[in-house]
Structure 1
């Protein structure tokens, strides 16, 4: 058997000698007995190693073969004592990587498991981009055109805007569903539609203005289970005429590539979604605050902490959710840490949760743990040291205190200042199992706040 060795070979050889006259009658009986566990690197975690050991332990009744794939290509792992281990021969690219294990038993049952990890650049430098990640125009229930929104935000000296009109209000839905593709069960852009015009107006703005970025999104709006923004997709779906329930919507999300997904204003219709491992990493962010006049501005951090406690890995955003021609007038903004001001760099940053919420227009917040930026998931052992590196700068609104918050929304440490504009704090803690996430909260002398995306901890065993 290809690439199999040692004890596993002997086990399979002895198993195959058995009498399988009745095997067809029990095909499938042992499928759930096959398992893959003790994955390394842990699912969704980050590493600085560009040639990391990739491994998994396998078990099962009468395994015939076991194969490993890395980013869709089959590799040749060392297999010994029911452990598969592979080390890349060349440095891997920075970014997301996928591993798949495929096993087959002598009855023809096949078991597959896929997980992913991220190779981060230890020396990466990110820029701070201030902007509005959630707003509307007259193409749904807001004011003005997408072009107007972009120009207004630009005049407010912001770096980006993400326009997310409600998909159920788009004319491709409202006008006899004319953008709906029945075979694909989604809405496909047609020339002249509002979805089409949004893209064209955004592209025009991006050509005109250097140092500014606009991105098209849509808000999936359901009175049953809430509102969710989908950023960067080429097609869209909606929850009313298409009657897409949440499970169908999630299935659609799984098929999309290079998008970011945000839970909006969780205090409204949103029902807490029980943790779903297959959606963790597909849903990336949650609003920790929402609103702009004349709508009420609300801080929503308790909903944020509750979702983190449930096991979701979500970053923090602040959505103005503009429905008037006031895009970017307010100071509540989201800062995105990205290498460049372009769509691909922004989607990468949003997917990896390098974001924070601010209520001032100048807060620059650095937050690292063991060298990994906010949003990262780190694999540790219980008792390992966590070295935090926190730096908050605001040239206009001095800082009063910084808090480190963990599970249950509990403040586990804090430091106070005398109204300084540039503060540093480097607490050191030991990893403990009842603390799986850490958030930094900045409070200014005027009571305004900044809230980071978390650093998450996963335990190796």
Structure 2
């Protein structure tokens, strides 16, 4: 499992804050004007932005030409910093064309130029539940040998590989049983195509991204082209941006594992999302008592595009459940409007985590409707427990009428946790009242459903809270449901005649 980055300076410093950011924060706090030079560096000096594509094909499977052609086009025509050829794995097995796998590796080595252009060879594992790209393994997986999703996860684990969920569009595939949580898979699947091809248009998969995050997956955002024609990188301006220490294979693969990425429909926009020393892709572990006390965290937002025509329309922070917890509408704002510095937008946002497990990502929209989505920052209490689908089963909830409330408890720990006390509370201005409680055993690396009975006592907005008492932990874990509208007892019943179609 990935090691969380400790909060408040404890342990390793991943990305130290630049002095320019400290100057910015102080200026915002004092409501002083900010000099343009104060924000000249979007990233610490040792890091940079690198743009490329992590999903493409050649004639070694169902595309055209060769990996050499793909790398040359991506480097010279698309002017990308990195490019991955990911032909279908079942084309490169002993029973098919195994030699193509080794030829692709040799071609990638010929075009690899550290500091200028990084070449990667991966493969696409195709299965009825969904397609997944694999990277950094000694051979390609195939649907003919890895015949189920768990078997593919085992293959990645055996080879210490990196996985990426491909084109997670609910219209074309079931998305791995709606992103059913697998701890083994989560240990190696690092990325998801928030934007994906095919060909000359981008398909937005933000709904699937949010669903995977809610179900406990730790994955970062990419936007790739799934090229099958000779247009590697030029089919569309969409890019995956990687924040890395240098332009080498090792650094790019490390950034992919660490989810230091964002998905962009603009080919060169710079985005930085951080909190303290943690950046997109990191997990911040807070004291459970700080959560109970409502202590906030500061998030830094930075968006900059070197193209003057690409003005920023909207910036949002999206949180667990898909809730927009902060946004700034900029419209046609000139460069020196509030928060815009020399053509860049930068601000600091204060947010208080609501639950023991939270994720936040930055979403930006440009004037031409290009969308940028970053990898999340997770804020948790370190228990390894997430909760999703915490809501009544009934679409309409009525005062005085019992309804069933479900929650899926995701145990991201490898080991099982037995005898967890789960208490459902209804909260309001007068405090909270216990509705029901039970004990539940949590399977390791999996989700467990739990059900409660709840009867709203009054019409209007109701709020539910789930408290989990884990053995050996002093402070309970807290999770909030989205607000629920309870209808009055006298709600009108409407009968609909579906036997006629009079128009």
TM-score by length of 1: 0.69
Partners of 2:158 and 2:146 in 1: CA distance: 18
Residue 364 of structure 1: which of 224, 248, 270 is its match?
270
Give deviations 1:91-113, integer Å, cap 9, x for gaps.
xxx6xxxxxxxxxxxxxxxxxxx
Distance in 2 separating the partners of 1:51 and 1:446: 42
Alignment map for 1:313-324 (pairs within 5 Å): 313-324=218-229
Q: 2:167 aligns to what?
A: 265
Q: CA deviation at 1:44?
A: 3.0
- 1:44 and 2:13 equivalent? no
Partners of 1:167 and 1:220 within 8 A in 2: yes
Instruction: Confirm or deny that 1:385 pairs with 2:291.
Output: no
Q: Partner residue of 1:101?
A: none
> Does residue 401 of the first structure (1) align with residue 314 of the second (2)?
yes
**One of 109, 112, 122 as aligned partner of 2:16:** 122
The Cα shift of 1:51 comes to 7.8
After superposition, the Cα gap between the structure-2 partners of 1:121 and 1:411, relative to the gap in structure 1 and judged at 3 Å, is closer
**Among 95, 119, 135, which residue is 1:231 paired with?**
135
* Superposition map of 1:254-293 within 5 A: 254-257=157-160, 259-267=161-169, 268-269=172-173, 270-271=175-176, 272-293=178-199
Checking the alignment, whether the CA contact within 8 Å between 1:126 and 1:338 is kept in structure 2 is yes
Residue from 303, 312, 316 that aligns with 2:217: 312
CA distance, structure 1, for counterparts of residue 82 and residue 221 of structure 2: 17
Measured against aligned partners, the alpha-carbon deviations of 1:389-442 in whole angstroms (never above 9, x if no partner) come to 111001211111100101121211101223443101211011220761001001
Instruction: Give me the whole-angstrom Cα distance separating, in 1, the residues matched to 2:151 and 2:157.
Output: 10
- 1:50: how far off? 9.1
Query: Pick from 115, 119, 122: which aligns with 1:217?
Result: 122
Work out the CA distance in 2 between the residues paired with 1:204 and 1:43. Answer: 33
Shift of residue 348, structure 1, vs aligned partner: 0.9
Q: Closer, same or farther in 2 for the Cα pair 1:427/1:51, shift >3 Å? A: closer
- CA displacement at 1:164 relative to structure 2: 0.6
CA distance in 1, matches of 2:115, 2:186: 35
User: What's 1:348 paired with?
Assistant: 254
Cα distance in 1 between the residues matched to 2:2 and 2:240: 27
Question: Aligned equivalents of 1:440 and 1:210: distance in 2?
Answer: 28
Could you tell me which residue of structure 1 aligns to residue 367 of structure 2?
A: 445
CA offsets 1:433-459 (integer angstroms, 9 cap, x no match): 076100100110111110000001111
Alpha-carbon distance change, 210 to 372 in structure 1, aligned in 2, over 3 angstroms? closer
Structure 1 residues 50 and 409: alpha-carbon distance in aligned structure 2, compared to 1, 3 A threshold: closer
Instruction: Work out which of the residue numbers 355, 373, 381 in structure 2 matches 1:433.
Output: 355
> Deviations 1:164-199 (Å, cap 9, x if unpaired)?
110012264425xxx5xxxxxxxxxxxxx1001101
Structure 1 unaligned runs (5+)?
A: 1-41, 53-93, 95-118, 180-192
Once residues 154 and 279 of structure 1 are traced to their aligned partners in structure 2, the CA distance between those partners, rounded to angstroms, is 32
Give unmatched runs, 5+ long, in structure 2: 18-43, 336-342, 383-474, 476-503
- 2:45 pairs with 1:132: no
Question: Displacement, 1:369?
Answer: 1.4
Q: Is the 8 A contact 1:48 1:121 kept in 2?
A: no
In the TM superposition, residue 250 of structure 1 has moved relative to its aligned partner by: 1.3
When residues 43 and 299 of structure 1 are mapped into structure 2, their CA distance, relative to the original with a 3 A threshold, is closer
Task: Give the TM-score of the pair, scaled to structure 2.
Answer: 0.63
Q: Considering only aligned residues, what root-mean-square deviation do their CA atoms show, in Å?
A: 2.1
1:181-230: CA deviation from partner (whole Å, max 9, x where unpaired): xxxxxxxxxxxx100110111101115x85111011111111x2211111
Aligned 8 A contact 1:44 1:281 in 2:
no
CA deviation vs aligned residue, 1:341-362 (integer Å, no higher than 9, x gap): 1111111101110000111111
* Residue 156 (structure 2) pairs with residue 253 (structure 1): yes
